Structure 1
Amino acid sequence: AYLFCNKRGHRMKVLVHDGLGIWLCARRLEQGKFHWAQVHQGESMAISPEQLQALIQGLPWQRIGRQQVVTML
């Protein structure tokens, strides 16, 4: 999957190839911003499925997997 975020940080698009074709998913947060990683243009990074779920929900995904708990209120 490839994830893209706008400059304001409140819209995200995800491109996924499933073997049959490519699908596009978009999400916009009504409040707040996605906790986006600081990656320079042309660079990429890998995240776990759990981190992806947290990122899509607008949670601080960088904490997932370090035995730290993220609570949604």
Structure 2
Amino acid sequence: MFRLGAHLQVYLHGDPIDFRAGIDSLAVLVQETMALDPFAPAAFAFCNRRRDRMKVLFFDRSGFVPVLKRLTEDKFRWPHRQEAIVRLATEQLHWILDGIDINAMIRHPVRQYQVAG
């Protein structure tokens, strides 16, 4: 399986896109719609309307790299957020690519303990 470096920022485009878009169209979408730098050390993820395809675009110092994943029988669990652009950790993107629903993941509550003296 393809893995991105942990140092990259990950941005998800919240709305589905037309999957006929190529590298140049995706780079323009990142710059104009998402107001982000497509040359930054980041990965930009896009999904189609049926949520069975995902494109990830990143720049690797020598050119743009597009990655396409198409599911045959399932759908990606795209995060439900109010924002149009969702920022994730690289690990979270890998979870989405692996079919994990990050909306269903619940963080354990942080508890404050006092030591009796």
Task: Calculate the TM-score normalised by the size of structure 1.
Answer: 0.74
Q: CA deviation at 1:39?
A: 5.0
Q: Which runs of 4+ in 1 moved over 3 A?
A: none
Counterpart pick for 2:55 among 13, 16, 19: 13
Is 1:45 aligned with 2:89? no
Q: 8 Å contact 1:2–1:16 — kept in the other structure?
A: yes
Please show how residues 24-35 of structure 1 align to structure 2 within 5 Å: 24-35=66-77
Q: 8 Å contact 2:55–2:68 — kept in the other structure?
A: yes
Q: 8 Å contact 1:13–1:26 — kept in the other structure?
A: yes
For these two proteins, the number of residue pairs brought into alignment is: 65
CA RMSD of aligned residues (A): 2.1
Identity of aligned residues (%): 35
The unaligned stretches of length 5 or more in structure 2 are 1-42, 109-117
Alignment partners' CA distance in 1, 2:98 and 2:76: 8
Larger radius of gyration: 2
Q: CA deviation at 1:14?
A: 0.5
The unaligned stretches of length 5 or more in structure 1 are 68-73
More RCO (CA 8 Å, sep 6+): 2
Alignment partners' CA distance in 2, 1:50 and 1:32: 20
Q: CA deviation at 1:43?
A: 2.3
Alignment partners' CA distance in 2, 1:33 and 1:47: 19
Task: Calculate the TM-score normalised by the size of structure 2.
Answer: 0.49
